[in-house]
Amino acid sequence: MSMIRNSLLLAAVSTALSIPAQAGDVEVLHWWTSGGEAKAAAELKSSMQKKGHTWKDFAVAGGGGDAAMTVLKSRVVSGNAPAAAQIKGPSIQEWAREGVLANMDAVAKAEKWDSVLPKVIADGLKYKGNYVAAPVNVHRVNWLWANPEAFKKAGAKLPTTWDEFFVAAEALKKAGITPVAHGGQNWQDFTTFESVALGAGGAEFYRKALVQLDPGSLKSPTMLKVLETFKKVKGYTDKNAPGRDWNLATAMVIKGEAGMQLMGDWAKGEFIAAGKVPGKDFACVAAPGTAKSYTYNVDSFVLFKLKDAANQKAQQDLAVAIMGPEFQEVFNLNKGSIPVRLDMKLDKFDECAKLSAADFGASAKSGSLVPSIAHGMAVPSAVEGAIKDVVSQFWNDDKMTAAAAMDKLAAAAKAK
């Protein structure tokens, strides 16, 4: 049955590919609305306009994409899906199972995606062996961003372990600087939590507890230590953190009002958009204890099945553009991420991006390359939502003990 459907789909795709250039509309759902994100999204728009298509921007503000996903669901349920949407990780398979996604194999074969993508990433973009998503980048999540001027003022040194992190935080506090810029939203809480889990627990623990959801690791002395360390970070955030957007937290580091931020490298897009230079105006170092590990987060787009031939052509052009070397370079220079293609030169990229690329390769070899839970790369969306809620509850409720949070986490991991 599904083979028949796939061949029909393939036939439809090839027909769409062979029709003469025709201008279509391409409506694209994304959540790239901060300064750096918007500059990167503008590159995608202009590459589609160059091909003569009309770009219909469907931007839903809200870092991490939770709001965008809610809006997308209601659009698809009401039979009005956009041409493409920013969807990643296991959600790709969840959407594919609904039978609403277009098959991208024709484009993927013509453009040789299998030979230019890392296998671990390519596998996640396929459903039953067929490509159903096109990747734009690789974001590293386990970063610490710091303001060197603020560190100098405080006489602090960039931390490489969690113990050193708290020493630096204390020094920044004494100097009257907010040690940690944080935005209290559950995906931001979890972004911090997973870096603590990776740094204080190690890659093996991270994978067993948070990716495989192994009950024995979820409830363990290591998890207890991770939760306690995570909660200690909160003591170094300011009272206005609840609800703050991530890019406003980054702005605090840019201005030197705060010393550091734990955030993925979309934060670098903000520093760059503000004209700041890495290694001079800001520092990028791996989150404490995670220099040899890498939490990956790959942004990708799925295409929804459409009826109109011109719009189908525009969709296919979008998939081709996304994976093209030219776009991969200019987009990622703005976005803070690195190209997902393995065959690209990084001459124009800065030291943070070069470190990211080197660490991606090294961690893939050593077995310490892990998917980000906070950014939808690791577990089914229901589990992700449930464990994020527990971690944020623990962060916000000063009466909840780490032991109680650990019990709740283990229960939430069973959410289906």
- Judged by CB under 6 A, does residue 139 bind ligand BGC? yes
What SS3 class is residue 399?
coil
Contacts of ligand BGC in 240-279 (CB under 6 A): 266
Cβ closest to ligand BGC, residue 31 vs residue 113: 31
- Judged by CB under 6 A, does residue 64 bind ligand BGC? yes
Residue keyed to tokens 């040194």: 157
Amino acid in the structure at residue 25? D
Q: Which stretch binds ligand BGC (CB under 6 A): 2-10, 58-66, 358-366, 394-402?
A: 58-66
Among 154, 375, 386, 387, indicate the residue that binds ligand BGC (CB under 6 A).
Answer: 375
What are the strands of the beta sheet with 258-262, ordered from one edge? 178-180, 258-262, 143-146, 283-286
CA distances, 401 to each of 228, 285, 313, 394 (Å): 9, 31, 55, 8
**CB neighbours of 65 closer than 8 A, spacing ≥ 6?**
31, 86, 376
* Total binding residues toward ligand BGC, as defined by CB under 6 A: 10
- Judged by CB under 6 A, does residue 63 bind ligand BGC? yes
- Judged by CB under 6 A, does residue 339 bind ligand BGC? no
Q: Which stretch binds ligand BGC (CB under 6 A): 61-69, 195-203, 339-347, 396-404?
A: 61-69
Contact 380, 178 (CB under 8 A): no
Length of the chain: 416
Task: Work out how close the CB of 288 gets to ligand BGC at its nearest, in angstroms, rounded to a whole number.
Answer: 21
Site string for ligand BGC, 282-321 (x = CB under 6 A): ---------------x-x----------------------
- Judged by CB under 6 A, does residue 135 bind ligand BGC? no
Q: Please provide residue 375's backbone torsions phi and psi, each rounded to the nearest 5 degrees.
A: -110, 30
- Nearest by Cα to 311 from 10, 81, 76, 6: 81
Task: Work out how close the CB of 313 gets to ligand BGC at its nearest, in angstroms, rounded to a whole number.
Answer: 27
Residue keyed to tokens 């991006």: 353
Q: Which secondary structure element, helix H or strand E, spans residue 126, and what is its range? A: strand 126-127
Task: Work out how close the CB of 297 gets to ligand BGC at its nearest, in angstroms, rounded to a whole number.
Answer: 5
Q: How many CA atoms lie within 13 A of 131 on its CB side?
A: 26
Cβ closest to ligand BGC, residue 166 vs residue 282: 282
* Residues in touch with ligand BGC (CB under 6 A): 31, 37, 63-65, 139, 266, 297, 299, 375
